[in-house]
């Protein structure tokens, strides 16, 4: 399946998921007789003001426009997350429903709640258990519906690929290595995959296994290696650092598996889990080294070497 078709499938699936989210949220509001949330329109107002743009109109007109723009922004978010999922799926990241659905729901929730916290419209950490439940369940409905729609659209696609063999333990070990490398350095797995792939390979590996792909990913890795040593770089356990590591760890593992001609679903899950574990262990290891030597530079350099070795092991051709 081409990336373009995957993106289009994702747009349609994201629209279906957004419908499921709105239905779940509306049902909750009806059952609990709670008022409609004003957070979406407040978020639009905050974002536009920070961008130096004020929604036009008098007081009443502006309020009505914001009330309309809030749900539209939510729909756009749902469609965008679906499009991203469709593109990743077309690139080889095919997770089982029990994993893919909740992950999509978590991604949509992060895309919604993250801006609320960043703009200080609302602080999710202060929400009650009831409020958290009312946020999690509709997003879970979104994830399940979007994943189901993606699977259904893919099966009906004229260029759908037949089922591939299940990954063997050796492939899963390489997926774990790629995930661990990515959890340490977010671009490590992708760079190693680009350097060991060829343009004729299947899936994402073939798309980045070119001279241009190797150059771009190599420059990104070099830049990350420099930035990683700077004290101003935020923790990799925060959302801006962790989410790309999880996504790239899963994607690189899936791309390696697809290049090898096996089902990428389980390797993608292994890569995701390995990236999460390596991110946590890496932070703790560097902190321990800093306490021992008075600087985390030795730990950072050791992390570079270990990430490179793991990435090469995971991406090398058999």
Residue 168's SS3 state is coil
pLDDT given for residue 118 in this prediction: 85
pLDDT at 225: 81
**Range 279-290 average pLDDT:** 85
CA nearest 90: which of 11, 199, 172, 17?
Answer: 11
114-134 in b/e form (b: 16+ CB < 10 A) is: ebbeebebbeeeeeeeeeeeb
- Count Cα neighbours of 97 within 13 Å in the Cβ-side half-sphere: 11
Distance CA 40, CA 131 (A): 15
CA distance 109 to 139: 6
- What does the pLDDT read at residue 239? 66
The answer to whether 56 and 62 have CB atoms below 8 angstroms apart is yes
Q: List the alpha helices (DSSP H) in 119-168.
A: 129-155
Over its C-alpha atoms, the chain yields an Rg (Å, rounded) of: 21
pLDDT category of residue 161 using cuts at 50, 70 and 90: low
More confident call, 18 vs 229 = 18
Look at the alpha carbons of 296, 298, 301, 305 in this order and tell me if their dihedral is positive or negative: negative
List Cα–Cα distances, 111 to 71, 78, 134, 174, in angstroms. 14, 9, 16, 31
What does the pLDDT read at residue 165? 72
Q: What is the pLDDT of residue 164?
A: 62
Task: Pull the structure tokens for residue 299.
Answer: 């730990």
**Lowest-confidence pick of 102-106, 153-157, 178-182:** 153-157
- Tell me what pLDDT residue 79 has: 94
Give residue 289's pLDDT: 83
User: pLDDT tens digits for 56-101?
Assistant: 888 888 888 888 888 898 899 999 999 988 888 887 777 777 778 8
pLDDT at 309 over 80: yes
Summary mean pLDDT of the chain: 85
Query: CA quadruple 220, 260, 173, 98: dihedral positive or negative?
Result: positive
Q: What is the pLDDT of residues 115-147, one digit of tens each?
A: 888 888 888 888 888 888 888 899 999 999 999
Residues 150-174: what's their mean pLDDT? Answer: 75
Q: What is the DSSP letter of 125?
A: G
């Amino acid at each position: 399946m081409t990336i373009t078709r995957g993106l289009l499938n994702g747009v349609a699936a994201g629209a279906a998921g957004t419908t499921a989210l709105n239905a779940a949220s509306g049902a909750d509001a009806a059952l609990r007789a709670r008022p409609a949330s004003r957070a979406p329109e407040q978020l639009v107002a905050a974002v536009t003001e920070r961008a130096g743009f004020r929604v036009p109109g008098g007081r009443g007109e502006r309020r009505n426009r914001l009330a309309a723009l809030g749900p539209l922004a939510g729909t756009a978010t749902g469609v965008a997350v679906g499009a991203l999922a469709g593109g990743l799926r077309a690139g080889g990241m095919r997770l089982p429903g029990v994993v893919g659905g909740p992950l999509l729901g978590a991604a949509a929730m992060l895309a919604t709640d993250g801006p609320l916290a960043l703009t200080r419209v609302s602080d999710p950490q202060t929400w009650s258990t009831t409020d958290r439940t009312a946020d999690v369940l509709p997003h879970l409905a979104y994830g399940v519906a979007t994943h189901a729609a993606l699977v259904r659209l893919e099966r009906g696609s004229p260029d759908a690929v037949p089922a591939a063999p299940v990954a063997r333990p050796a492939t899963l070990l390489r997926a774990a290595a790629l995930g661990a490398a990515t959890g340490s350095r977010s671009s490590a797995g992708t760079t190693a995959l680009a350097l060991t792939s060829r343009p004729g390979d299947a899936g994402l590996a073939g798309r980045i296994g070119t001279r241009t792909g190797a150059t771009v990913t190599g420059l990104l890795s070099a830049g990350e290696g420099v930035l990683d040593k700077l004290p101003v770089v935020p923790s990799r356990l925060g959302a801006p650092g962790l989410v790309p590591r999880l996504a790239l760890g899963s994607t690189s593992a899936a791309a390696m598996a697809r290049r090898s001609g096996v089902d990428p679903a389980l390797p993608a899950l292994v890569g995701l889990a390995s990236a999460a574990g390596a991110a946590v262990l890496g932070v703790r290891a560097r902190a321990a080294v800093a306490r021992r030597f008075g600087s985390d530079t030795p730990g950072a350099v050791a992390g570079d070497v270990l990430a490179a070795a793991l990435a090469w092991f995971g991406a090398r051709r058999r």
